[in-house]
Amino acid sequence: MSTEIATGYTLQEEPYYLPLADEVELFQAAYEQRLPVLLKGPTGCGKTRFVEYMAHRIYRNSVSAPEQPLQTVACHEDLSATDLVGRFLLQGDETVWQDGPLSRAVKEGSICYLDEIVEARKDSTVLIHSLTDHRRILPVEKLGLILEAHPDFLLVISYNPGYQNVLKDLKTSTRQRFISIDFDYPGLEEETSIIAHESGVVSEQAERLALVGEKVRNLHGHGFDEGVSTRLLVYAGQLISQGVAPDRACDAAIIKAVSDDAEVQRAVAELVVAIFPPA
Ligand SMILES: Nc1ncnc2c1ncn2[C@@H]1O[C@H](COP(=O)(O)OP(=O)(O)OP(=O)(O)O)[C@@H](O)[C@H]1O
Ligand SMILES: [Mg+2]
């Protein structure tokens, strides 16, 4: 059984990222001072892509860049400190220690991105605290040692406040260890560029999809809080690129995907029909 929970990321190619405000400069400045960063924003708005882009930008000219400049961990409710730090594994009749993604990043000096941190178990936040203040240390209890973070190490976490789960809110003592960068869905023009680039549809189609996005997000408040993500609009574009009729692509990637609520689906379908009339 594989115990790998993180995806490492290498520097081969520059990820496409379209900056929407001053987030690139802000993150860069935070990195120079090794200030931990919290990325806040709704699902599918570009947070992960942004960190990949920043990792590339920060390490691309570094002679001592770690092999995997970015360790991404998708946090979930069973994720424990052990998953992040490491564990003993049985190999044949030997027990060997295997570092977790956080230990690896701490040792190698890479960026560790804990996606949806509020999902993780409470014992994980303890680790975060000692890594994000002046100590910059990671206690590895099972080995009885304390790792001092490599000078290049940076911790980045993300948080989607939209779930509105009070129990899973980020604790003040955790939140106040990070500078916070807010993300939101791009404006019409930017989203058009992103959809066109990511899906390969012509810009006229991309613009229509972006328009669907804008209109659907304006439904906000009618029992429908999340809107539609840039990710889904890109999916719709990808289906269209494959030859699927636009209204069918929107049905599968947008209307049916945004919500299970028939009422909401109907409202979204009405908007889509106006922008992509059936052939
Ligand atoms: N500013 C942007 N530049 C380039 N691509 C973008 C941008 N914003 C969104 N995208 C596109 O949207 C997709 C989804 O973005 P991403 O996976 O980064 O979202 P996320 O905010 O991490 O979502 P989640 O909270 O669900 O993890 C990307 O794969 C990319 O195609
Ligand atoms: Mg993400």
CATH superfamily of 6-182: P-loop containing nucleotide triphosphate hydrolases (3.40.50.300)
Closest CA to 71 of 103, 117, 116: 103
Please answer whether residues 234 and 194 qualify as being in contact, where contact means their C-beta atoms are separated by less than 8 angstroms.
yes
Ligand 1 centre to CA of 66 (Å) is: 24
Q: Is 47 in the pocket of ligand 1 (CB under 6 A)?
A: yes
Which one-letter DSSP state was computed for residue 2? -
Atom of ligand 1 nearest to the CA of 183: 21
For the chain, the structural domain boundaries read 6-182, 188-275
Burial code (b: 16+ CB inside 10 Å, e: under 16) for 214-247 equals bbbbebeeeebebbbbbbbbbbbbbbbeeebebb
Ligand 1 centre to CA of 112 (Å) is: 18
Please answer whether residues 81 and 138 qualify as being in contact, where contact means their C-beta atoms are separated by less than 8 angstroms.
no
- At 168, give phi and psi (nearest 5°): -105, 20
**145-193 pLDDT, tens per residue?**
999 999 999 999 998 876 555 556 778 888 889 999 999 999 999 999 9
**232-247 pLDDT, tens per residue?**
999 999 999 999 999 9
Look at ligand 1, atom 23, and give the residue with the nearest C-alpha. 44
Tell me the whole-structure pTM to 2 decimals: 0.93
Q: How confident is the model at residue 127 (pLDDT cuts 50, 70, 90)?
A: confident
Quote the pLDDT of residue 2: 40
